[in-house]
Amino acid sequence: MASALPPYASAGQRAWFYSFRIICGLIFFFLIFPVLIIIPLSFNAEDFFTFTPKMLALDPEGYSLKHYRDFFTNPDWQGAMWNSIAIAPAATILATGFGTLAAIGLSQSNMPFRSAVMALLISPMIVPLIISAAGMYFFYSRIGLQGTYMGVVLAHAALGTPFVIITVTATLVGFDQSLVRAAANLGADPVTTFFKVQMPLILPGVISGALFAFITSFDEVVVVLFLGSAAQKTLPWQMFTGLREQISPTILAVATLLVAISIALLTTLELLRRRSERLRGLTPG
Amino acid sequence: MTDTAHTSPVLTTQDGVPLKVSIARATRRQKFRAFLLVSPLLLFILITFTAPIVDMLYRSVENDIVSETLPETVVALEGWDESSGEIPGENVFAALSRDLAIAAEEKTHTRLGSRLNYENPGMSSLFRKTGRRVGRMDEGNYTEQFIDIDADWGAPKTWQVIKQFSSPITAGYFLAAVDAERTPEDGLQFKPSDERIYLFLFWRTLLLSVTITAMCILLGYPIAFLLSNLPMRTSNLLMILVLLPFWTSLLVRTSAWKVLLQQQGVINDTLVWIGLVGDDSRLQLINNQTGTVIAMTHILLPFMILPLFSVMKTISPTYMRAAKSMGASDWYAFWRVYFPQTVPGIGAGSILVFILSIGYYITPELVGGTSGIFISNRIAYHISSSLNWGLAAALGVILLTVVLVLYWLYDKIVGIDNVKLG
């Protein structure tokens, strides 16, 4: 019905076929338009959030890189950027390490209390961020981690682990356990087996899990807002204050850079997915 | 080999151990190894995530500040009947003077004052004022001296509040979180309906979340249907249009909507340019509920499309063809044959969108103004501005309960193992 119109379709069917496509086109437009519109707006030569007459006339004078220049020279934005760069990878390493080990354990058929443990480990993804943030703020200030780099990293790692577990478990579903037995049979110890046999095969799942954990930390604002002090101000936090208090067009330049990062991540994930499907022989080529 | 199997009824392994025992031992070792692999993360999550949540549960009922700051007074108050309508006796005032003298030295009386101020406005200044002068009190006749400092000490209401909150555990925060209060005269009752801010906020959060979920179904269903029926190549390409917003930072999407929906923003400019609205009657699209619903529908739409898509992809097109070959119209075949098979996908997507939506904080805070904010924004306000952590915790526990019930439902319907990403 939606894929192609048969030659014998009636006028009514034809009308519906095209109007359905138009409706879908409009919804796609709604999805993608807000993400794309900020890109041209970020090159605005004025401090406005809308297209100036000069921009609409495609006059080169209407465009400039001044908001990008501001981002790369303003100490507030630069500090925030470096904090983000310091926090996200540390949280990603913690989440990926713990998460991968746990996913391997959870995929074994005789794991005790499997569903209860799974539900507990996935819960950081389900509990609303404001509640996690509130609880962590109360608890971390009791144990002296509130307002420290360590506290923010631990919290972000906890929020990222469910994604690692989900992606790695999904990869392990297609993993042939007899390969591990074969390796052991040929004299490999468990550690060698893990790094030489299991790891290369589940690597796509681990990497996409790590990307999810990274983006979780890199985008996260609620927890860091409560848990961090001014010294841990991250990029999303700076954007949040910027949007709430003095809205400056530099935000649009930052947003454009973040969209570029998302496109890079999306491409990597798509390539990984194809590779993993090819390895498992799910799709030819 | 065949001989041994015949002579002994129990199967054994080569070294003579019964097979069952040997298998049990191997299984136990495997179980232990599986658990060992999970335990680092389990421990990590218990410390960094579960402990904070438990701490919050505790904070929502914790109330040891009165008994810690005024230990002697609390003991002395046990003999006083709060429904008598009279103030307590001299022994209580004497105990209070000793407690407050210590508290004023350690400067803990102001904290107690601000805690009790949540229950009875005026307590904060009462304690601060009294704390300054309690050191200069003379021996004896404490009742008169306290009432001299502030007449509130002569009011039974002051003492009722102190006595009511002297037990180490209180339901007071939860009562406040549902706009109820307990008074010695009338017992448990709701506040007058124009003062019920939290019930109203919970109601609004639910209502807006339902609206957002419905909008997501409405917009997500056609997209998922189109994607699942197009040839693989085209649908993979179009899928990028769904995944790119999904992967774009939440703050980026919220800033985009803030820019688009402003009165001087792109949408209003375009509408004015087309001539649909006059320049002086630009639409108010932001800092109200419209802003929250539009921005959050956009942000949560991929969470509806992805589960719907994965369900629709498994529905065989032959069912629809069969229905049509037997004379069903397009609409009838869709409604009676195709649609019922997509209901699990709608259920999964709706629960997911709804769970995410009722806990949202950032987007309502930035585009919601005052009429479009959620209960989360109130929780954040109590943590960082009013510092009423107990009330924040109680509101959080109520919200958490709702989410956990939905999570349980989701697990029953979809299964946590079947959560897919991207």
Min Cα–Cα distance to chain A from B265, Å: 5
**Per-residue DSSP letter, A4:** -
Rounded mean pLDDT, B62-85: 83
Contact flag B361-A129 (C-beta cutoff 8 Å): yes
Q: What is the pLDDT of residue B44?
A: 95
Chain A residues in contact with B355 (beta carbon < 8 A):
126, 128
Residues in chain A: 285
Query: pLDDT higher for B10 or B399?
Result: B399
For chain B, say whether A72 makes contact (Cβ under 8 Å): no
Q: Which of B202, B212, B248 to mutate to test the interface with A (most CBs of A within 10 A)?
A: B248
Inter-chain CB proximity A262 and B244 less than 8 Å? yes
Q: Point out which residues pair with A44 in neighbouring strands.
A: A63
ipTM summary value: 0.86
Flag whether pLDDT at A283 surpasses 50: no
Q: Which structural domains are found in chain B, ordered by start?
A: 2-59 (no CATH), 65-170 (no CATH), 197-418 (1.10.3720.10)
Pairwise CA distance, residues A66 & A77, whole Å = 14
| A268 CA: distance to closest CA in chain B (Å) | 12
What is the pLDDT, as a whole number, of residue B83? 78
**Which percentage of chain B shows pLDDT scores above 90?**
30
Structure confidence at residue B6 (pLDDT): 53
Integer Cα distance of B174 and B184 in angstroms? 18
Place B185 in a pLDDT band, splitting at 50, 70 and 90: low
- pLDDT score at B419: 60
User: Nearest to residue B250, comparing CAs of B399, B360, B140, B153?
Assistant: B360
pLDDT for A143 equals: 92
CATH C-level class of A77-279: mainly alpha
From the list B59, B244, B359, the residue facing A131 with the nearest CB is B359
Q: Kindly report the average pLDDT of chain A as a whole number.
A: 87
pLDDT band at A285 (very low <50, low <70, confident <90, very high): very low
Query: How is chain B split among helix, strand and coil, in percent rounded to 5?
Result: 75, 5, 25
Higher pLDDT, B325 or A273: B325
Contacts 24+ apart (CB under 8 A), A62-65: none
Residue predicted with more confidence, B136 or B383 = B383
Q: What DSSP state is assigned to residue B13?
A: -
The C-alpha atoms of residue A41 and residue B128 are separated, in whole angstroms, by: 54
Return the pLDDT at B158.
Answer: 85
The model's pLDDT over B19-29, given as tens digits with 9 standing for 90+, comes to: 888 888 888 88
Contact A34 B301 (CB under 8 A): no
Higher pLDDT residue, B195 or A230? A230
Cβ-Cβ contacts under 8 Å between A and B: the total is 279
**With an 8 Å Cβ cutoff, is A144 touching chain B?**
no
- Answer whether A30 touches B (CB < 8 Å): yes
- pLDDT (mean) for A131-136: 93
Every domain of chain A and the residues it spans: 1-31, 77-279
Bridge partner residues of B189 (DSSP)? B181
Confidence at residue A284, expressed as pLDDT on a 0 to 100 scale: 41
How high is the pLDDT of residue B5?
46
Inter-residue contact A85 to A235 (CB < 8 Å): no
> What pLDDT shows up at residue B1?
45
**Look-up of token digits 């790369």:** A72
pLDDT of A52 strictly over 90 = no
Q: What is the pLDDT of residue B418?
A: 60
The residue-averaged pLDDT of B324-351 equals 90
Closest CA to B374 of B361, B393, B390: B361
Those residues with Cβ within 8 angstroms of residue B21's Cβ, 6 or more apart along the chain or in another chain: none
Helices vs strands, H then E, count in chain B: 22, 2
Q: Where are the alpha helices (DSSP H) in chain A?
A: 11-41, 53-56, 66-73, 75-107, 114-126, 129-142, 149-173, 178-185, 190-193, 199-219, 222-227, 235-244, 250-279
Residue B217, pLDDT above cutoff 80? yes
- Beta-carbon separation of B55 and A170 below 8 A: no
CA-based nearest residue in chain A for residue B411: A119
The pLDDT of residue A1: 45
